[in-house]
Amino acid sequence: MRLLWSPRALQLARAFMSDQEGMKAINDATARLVVEPRPPEAFPWGNTGLYRLRVGRYRILYEITEDVIDIGHVDRI
């Protein structure tokens, strides 16, 4: 599996760069998605085909296709 970040998700994540601990946690959690794309702490987000993963104060929305995990959105809760 490959991990891709949408331009929008990268832009949103850059807004939180002052929280280095949070960004490290997001980086670690998304890297683990390559090995386990549906960890127990991730939930389907409605009927959209997206998954929601909470990492500390942050929420990550992503989509899983055959060989790609596409990070589409990062936001602070």
Nearest to 45 by CA among 7, 72, 9, 23: 72
Measured distance CA(39)–CA(20) in Å, rounded:
23
Match 């949070």 to its residue by tokens.
22
Provide the strand spans (E) within 17-57: 42-44, 50-55
| pTM for the structure as a whole | 0.92
According to the model, what pLDDT value does residue 76 have?
92
Nearest to 60 by CA among 40, 46, 76: 76
Per-residue pLDDT of the chain (77 residues; tens, 9 = 90+): 999 999 999 999 999 989 999 999 999 999 999 999 999 999 999 999 999 999 999 999 999 998 999 999 999 98
